[in-house]
A and B are shown apart, each in its own frame.
Chain A
Amino acid sequence: MGGTTPEQDEVRMIETGSNPTRFARGWHCLGLADTFRDGRPHEVKAFGQTAVVFARRDGTIHMIDAFCRHMGGNLARGAVKGDEIACPFHDWRWNGEGRCVGVPYARRVPLRARTTAWITMERNGLLFAWNDPQGNPPPPDVTIPEIEGYGTDRWSEWSWKSYLVEGAHCREIVDNVVDMAHFFYVHYQIPRYFKNVFEGHVASQYMRSTGRDDIKTGVQMDLPDAVTRSEASYYGPSFMLDTIWTESDGDVVEAKLVNCHYPITPDSFLLQYGIVVEKKPGMPDEQAQVMAQTFIDGLEVQFLQDVEIWKHKSRIDNPLLTEEDGPVYQLRRWYQQFYVDVEDVTPEMVRRFEFEVDCDHAIATWEAESREAAARAANAPA
């Protein structure tokens, strides 16, 4: 065996830990708000519960527990009547705040006719629900920012997709925010600059990247030699808003990308992503929409590759890292703040932490690898 120390010979064991049974405190995006405004109740399985989401006549959208406190009927199978949701079983009427306000066949509504209601919010055409196992309202500084000019001519419409991921905890997707190297292998990009900053309830990633010579994706928007600059932040445990500047040939296209999810059970979540692309003055609407679609299709390929990894990987609480990996441990320390009571949030979880990855060695390796692969492909018999 010669030359190895006992430490080098020791087998490294994976500590898998177990998925938390608690669901994170924070704003969670449920999807495009308009999809809930069709006058019908929508069943949403989230945070280990089943909820019904419905719109009142004034357009505000509400989310309450789906199971009627009378005999357990599923309100999502009922009907919206006026501003209330009516149970399909005996027509009890529940309002958006989760109160039973009428039992048509009875003289009185019983005491304690109250069910779970989530606080909801609409931002940038998206619907959000506040989850807090302690039942507190969201602090004013914990919110989702407005996209400047959203709803005006400045941006295309949302191109939006969702995907049910089963067999993985949503921590897997959050880990991605620090995972510099997976951008090459899973997302076909070469990171040129990569920095994370965690502070308070925000976790950010600053990245500059280029495409590979051998594999092209829609994320470069079919622009030649595109350089992508990206500033992405998680606002709490589940909602990432990413500003992306795609620079090619002296032109810059700006886009806002959302990458978000909500947990369904401890080992399943709904992954969602969407994009709006800046409409340049004089650019026809269809062209902006085509760019958004090209991007989102490219993104879908990439996310499905993430999903393929998550579905088959092990949960791992003790990743073995190199100096070229991002700060997984510190990210998870930050992420933990959403899984404990607010009183138990420690300075480690929220104090500012910065980590700039040295990408140089990786870039040299990856440039050579993709150049050689491209050359092989060019020389391969057709």
Chain B
Amino acid sequence: MRPLTCRRCANRVLVEKYSPIHTSVQWLGDARTDCAEFAGLAEAGADSAFVPTCGALRASIDEAVRAGLVPESRFGEPAPLPR
């Protein structure tokens, strides 16, 4: 998985693409507080666990993919999170 920083809030995640449609995202910190979009939702009473996607992060990923920064990979078993 490749490290990626959200362009809106500097939240850092790991991203993987098996294909243009597939995406996996491993968050490294607490999504409720590390992500500006989710923090905004939390103020409105929404819990990020029930929000399918952060739009700003998604846009950042799509941009990185277009820029060729996230080459497609094959299935691999998950590695432990970096400490």
Contacts and interface: CB of A to CB of B under 8 A. Distances in A.
B43 interface: no
A219 B24 CA distance: 29
Contact of B26 (A204, A206, A353, A360): A353
A102 B77 CA distance: 58
Contacts, number: 73
A348 B80 contact: yes
B27 A353 contact: yes
A180 to B, nearest CB: 11
A359 B20 CA distance: 11
Interface stretch (A50-58, A245-253, A323-331, A372-380): A323-331
Interface in B10-30: 18-30
Contacts of B48: 199, 352
Nearest to A206: B52
B56 interface: no
Main secondary structure of the interface of B (DSSP, over half): loop
Contact of B50 (A204, A325, A355): A204
Contacts of B31: 199, 351-352
A357 interface: yes
A197 B35 CA distance: 15
B18 A327 contact: no
Nearest to B21: A358
Contact of B24 (A348, A356, A359): A356
A106 interface: no
B78 to A, nearest CB: 5
Contact of B25 (A204, A323, A353, A358): A353
Interface residues of B, number: 26
B81 interface: yes
Which of A206, A333, A352, A357 has the largest number of chain B CB atoms within 10 A? A352
A202 B46 CA distance: 14
Contacts of A206: 52
A195 to B, nearest CB: 6
B66 to A, nearest CB: 17
A354 interface: yes
29 contacts: A197-B52, A199-B48, A199-B49, A200-B49, A202-B49, A206-B52, A233-B49, A233-B50, A325-B75, A327-B24, A327-B78, A329-B77, A329-B78, A351-B29, A351-B30, A351-B81, A352-B27, A352-B31, A352-B48, A354-B25, A354-B27, A354-B52, A355-B25, A356-B22, A356-B23, A358-B20, A358-B22, A359-B21, A360-B21
Interface of A: 195, 197, 199-200, 202, 204, 206, 233, 321-323, 325, 327, 329-330, 333, 347-348, 351-360
Given A348-B80, A356-B22, 20 more contacts: A195-B52, A199-B31, A200-B49, A202-B50, A204-B52, A233-B49, A323-B18, A348-B78, A348-B81, A351-B26, A351-B28, A351-B30, A353-B26, A354-B23, A354-B24, A355-B23, A358-B18, A358-B20, A358-B21, A359-B21
